[in-house]
Chain A
Amino acid sequence: MDLSLLLQLTLNGLIVGALYGVVAMSFVLIYKASQVVNFAQGEFLLVGAWVCWWFLVDWQLPFWAGFLFTLAFMTLFGLVLQVVVLRPLIGEPVISVIMATIGLGIFFQALMKWIFGVFAKPFPPIFAVERVSVMGLEVQTVYLVSLGISLAIMLGFAWFFTASKHGLAMRATAFDQQVAQSLGVSVPRVFAMSWAISAVVSAVAGVVVGVVNGVSSALSFYGIKVFPAVILGGLDSILGAVLGGIIVGLLENWAHYIDSQWLNWGNMFQIAPFYALVLILLIKPYGLFGTRNIERV
């Protein structure tokens, strides 16, 4: 037993889990608003991180400017994707929509590899202090800031959905599209907005991960790790997505701990969430907080 390693991994799990939570949240946002399962969520992180990297390294912009430009770009990116690719597919069967987002994912992953290469490239240093110590554990500053950013995004979402006009319109659309439309909500605009917000929020997560680990195509794996998280929480629950993300983050780090201490199988870190996913689907297919679908003929 190695307690300090366990503590360190738990902390890592919490921080990474919060990031998963943020990505899962933006995934659920799209699903709730437009009933599209976005298999290209990881590519949002990837594109966002690379674009930010490009502004900072090739254009030598200060971080705040590059970051703001990135957010502006991602807004546009999300809007264009929704309007050009997803809008023509409204009303098509699930398989078509899923395949379209998978196609998008492959396309942008290859495009990013083509433009920026396959090797991880580090961000220029952003914080003056590299590491701080919290309760005797060494933690990278970026991780702490990322935890802060994740919390801020979650609070932002909570405010957006309970108090803002657009957020309420979005919830109304998620509840019933026809009723929302008859009450004057522009459903196409809500769809487009959900994609834009989701792209922006994912890009923030992408930049955070990029600053920590360097930018590489490994970022798009976050988009796949999101599935255990959202299934655990229930596909249409924002709170569930956050909790699911944190649980998956903890789970993979604890699996890594058990593996490194006793089992020595290797690779458990990557695979444990998927075993969990299959188990959850068997026991509780609608997740912890998801709505049960009741179908009538």
Chain B
Amino acid sequence: MALASLRPSGDYRATYRADTTIMPTRNSRIALWLGIGVLCLCPLVLGRWELSLLINIGILGIAALGLNILVGFTGQISIGHAAFFGVGAFASAWLHEAFHIPVWACIPLAGVITAIVGLVFGAPAARLKGLYLAIATLAAQFILEDFFARARWFTGGVAGRITEPLTLFGFAFDREESYFYVVLFFVIVMFVFAANLMRTRDGRALVAVRDHYLSAEIMGINLAYYRTLSFGIASLYAGIGGALYAHYLLFVSVEAFNILFSIQFLGMVIIGGLGSISGSLMGAAFMVMLPEVVQMLADALSGSPIDRALKLGTSINYLREMALGAAIILFLIFEPDGLAHRWRLIKAYWKLYPYSH
């Protein structure tokens, strides 16, 4: 984190406190507050469609950040993140309906339930790593998907489950303009939590496990504990993201949380940048915008001979999936460090502008 700040005149840090600070310069702090201020004004200016895109970016960004803590910071692979996202969505809806807990309390509680489910799957995962873990989480994806279809009491079965909007003091957040603030609040809380987590002993332990797990173990880091913990944190984020998703769409379907969705989450983490907190949000933004861009290209070509030859109108869904696959591969080959790295390079270029050597 600290390396992200590149100052032309060099780093003069005298204390550990200064070294681990999240926002190293006054300008970066001002930029952050300005950014939040601008976002707060968004609902007054933007239309519903733009706002729904931003809400999606926020919700998926929270879940992607969780996956990034697991994959990017701890080095564990999970191909079942969408299933945990689904657990969060159903848990929140179920808590509200079965126990009449207010929705604002359901969302964090759903996160806790998902974290517990994640720990159950994560406990055996503590012994596994690399591709064995990837395959185990793939199995978890299918087992949970099967459970969703089977457990009528929890998910409403094939018919899905209708959820209530979030209400606070009698005010219902059931429109894009108001729900935007809910998502913004959770995005800020979750990202600040993650940024701070990475400054603590636990956060550094996770990174040590990723970089060299044998050395980490020799230095007294309990591997099983931290691998399981990382799984739990990732599931907590997925659960909160899922709960926000449920109360935004007001309907949760059993089929939504398939393997393709899981792969989209992995794509966000890869494209945004492994081991980068802000990258998770960039990756989510990329993944939300990608189908829209494909749609726009197809619309621009509609009616032309290319459109008639390729049947663009009817096959837009396949084009989106192809774009997803292609984006993942191209990023891995040409920009393996993701958008966050590119952003750092751009910043460094302008900061050092005339004397970049």
List A residues at the B interface (Cβ < 8 Å).
37, 85, 88-89, 92-96, 98-100, 102-111, 113-114, 224, 227-228, 231, 235, 265, 267, 270-271, 274-275, 277-278, 281-282, 285, 295, 297
Residue contact B328 to A103, C-beta cutoff 8 Å? yes
Chain B residues in 8 Å Cβ range of A92: 332, 336
Chain A residues in 8 Å Cβ range of B146: 267, 270-271
- Could you say which of A98, A104, A275 contacts B77, with CB atoms under 8 Å apart? A98
Number of interface residues of B (CB under 8 A): 46
Residue contact B136 to A114, C-beta cutoff 8 Å? no
Secondary structure dominating the interface of B = helix
Q: Residue B51 at the A interface, CB < 8 A?
A: no
Residue contact B77 to A274, C-beta cutoff 8 Å? no
Beta-carbon contacts under 8 Å, B134-162 to A: 134-136, 138-140, 142-143, 146, 149-150
30 contacts between A and B (CB under 8 A): A85-B329, A94-B134, A95-B75, A95-B77, A96-B332, A98-B77, A99-B270, A103-B327, A103-B329, A104-B329, A106-B321, A107-B322, A107-B325, A110-B320, A111-B318, A113-B315, A114-B318, A114-B322, A224-B138, A270-B142, A274-B143, A275-B143, A277-B135, A277-B139, A278-B136, A281-B124, A281-B128, A281-B135, A285-B128, A297-B214
Residue contact B325 to A278, C-beta cutoff 8 Å? no
Q: Once bound together, how far apart are the Cα atoms of A105 and B322, in whole Å?
A: 10
Residue contact A102 to B138, C-beta cutoff 8 Å? no
Q: Residue B46 at the A interface, CB < 8 A?
A: no
Chain A residues in 8 Å Cβ range of B306: none
Chain A residues in 8 Å Cβ range of B333: 85, 88-89, 100
Chain A residues in 8 Å Cβ range of B322: 106-107, 110-111, 114
Chain B residues in 8 Å Cβ range of A89: 332-333
Chain A residues in 8 Å Cβ range of B324: 103, 106
- Could you say which of A102, A111, A114, A277 contacts B266, with CB atoms under 8 Å apart? A102
Q: Residue B326 at the A interface, CB < 8 A?
A: yes
Q: Chain B nearest CB: distance from A285 CB in Å?
A: 6
Known interface pairs A100-B328, A110-B321. Does A297 touch B77 (Cβ–Cβ under 8 Å)?
no
Q: Which residue of A lies closest to B321 (CB)?
A: A110
Q: Which residue of A lies closest to B260 (CB)?
A: A106
Residue contact B325 to A281, C-beta cutoff 8 Å? no
Q: Which residue of A lies closest to B214 (CB)?
A: A297
Interface Cβ pair total, 8 Å cutoff: 127
Residue contact B132 to A95, C-beta cutoff 8 Å? no
Q: Once bound together, how far apart are the Cα atoms of A282 and B215, in whole Å?
A: 25
- Top 4 A-B pairs, shortest CB-CB distance: A107-B325, A103-B328, A110-B321, A106-B325
Among A103, A108, A270, chain B packs the most CB atoms within 10 A around the CB of A103
Among A106, A224, A281, chain B packs the most CB atoms within 10 A around the CB of A106
Chain A residues in 8 Å Cβ range of B135: 37, 227, 231, 277, 281
Q: Chain B nearest CB: distance from A35 CB in Å?
A: 9
Chain B residues in 8 Å Cβ range of A275: 139, 143
Q: Residue B130 at the A interface, CB < 8 A?
A: yes
Beta-carbon contacts under 8 Å, B295-342 to A: 311, 315, 318-322, 324-329, 332-333, 336
Q: Once bound together, how far apart are the Cα atoms of A218 and B184, in whole Å?
A: 40
Q: Once bound together, how far apart are the Cα atoms of A89 and B330, in whole Å?
A: 11
Chain A residues in 8 Å Cβ range of B136: 277-278, 281
Chain B residues in 8 Å Cβ range of A114: 311, 315, 318-319, 322
Chain A residues in 8 Å Cβ range of B233: none
Among B77, B318, B329, chain A packs the most CB atoms within 10 A around the CB of B329
Residue contact B214 to A103, C-beta cutoff 8 Å? no
Q: Chain B nearest CB: distance from A30 CB in Å?
A: 12
Q: Once bound together, how far apart are the Cα atoms of A277 and B274, in whole Å?
A: 28
- Told that A95-B274, A114-B311 touch, could you supply 18 new A-B pairs with CB distance under 8 A? A95-B71, A98-B131, A100-B328, A103-B324, A103-B326, A106-B324, A107-B325, A107-B326, A110-B319, A111-B318, A114-B315, A224-B138, A227-B138, A267-B146, A275-B143, A277-B139, A278-B140, A297-B214
Q: Residue B127 at the A interface, CB < 8 A?
A: yes
Q: Chain B nearest CB: distance from A91 CB in Å?
A: 11
Q: Residue B263 at the A interface, CB < 8 A?
A: yes
Chain B residues in 8 Å Cβ range of A235: 131
Residue contact B325 to A110, C-beta cutoff 8 Å? yes
Chain A residues in 8 Å Cβ range of B215: 297
Q: Chain A nearest CB: distance from B305 CB in Å?
A: 18
Q: Once bound together, how far apart are the Cα atoms of A285 and B127, in whole Å?
A: 9
Q: Once bound together, how far apart are the Cα atoms of A88 and B333, in whole Å?
A: 6
Beta-carbon contacts under 8 Å, B259-288 to A: 260, 263, 266-267, 270, 274
Known interface pairs A96-B336, A274-B139. Does A107 touch B134 (Cβ–Cβ under 8 Å)?
no
Q: Chain B nearest CB: distance from A161 CB in Å?
A: 23
Residue contact A278 to B260, C-beta cutoff 8 Å? no
Q: Chain A nearest CB: distance from B119 CB in Å?
A: 15
Q: Chain A nearest CB: distance from B206 CB in Å?
A: 15
Beta-carbon contacts under 8 Å, B98-146 to A: 124, 127-128, 130-132, 134-136, 138-140, 142-143, 146
Chain B residues in 8 Å Cβ range of A110: 318-322, 325
Q: Once bound together, how far apart are the Cα atoms of A271 and B150, in whole Å?
A: 12
Q: Chain B nearest CB: distance from A189 CB in Å?
A: 21
Among B71, B139, B142, B315, chain A packs the most CB atoms within 10 A around the CB of B139
Q: Which residue of B lies closest to A95 (CB)?
A: B77
Q: Chain B nearest CB: distance from A292 CB in Å?
A: 12
Q: Once bound together, how far apart are the Cα atoms of A157 and B106, in whole Å?
A: 57
Chain A residues in 8 Å Cβ range of B138: 224, 227
Q: Which residue of B lies closest to A100 (CB)?
A: B332
Q: Once bound together, how far apart are the Cα atoms of A104 and B332, in whole Å?
A: 12
Chain B residues in 8 Å Cβ range of A277: 135-136, 139
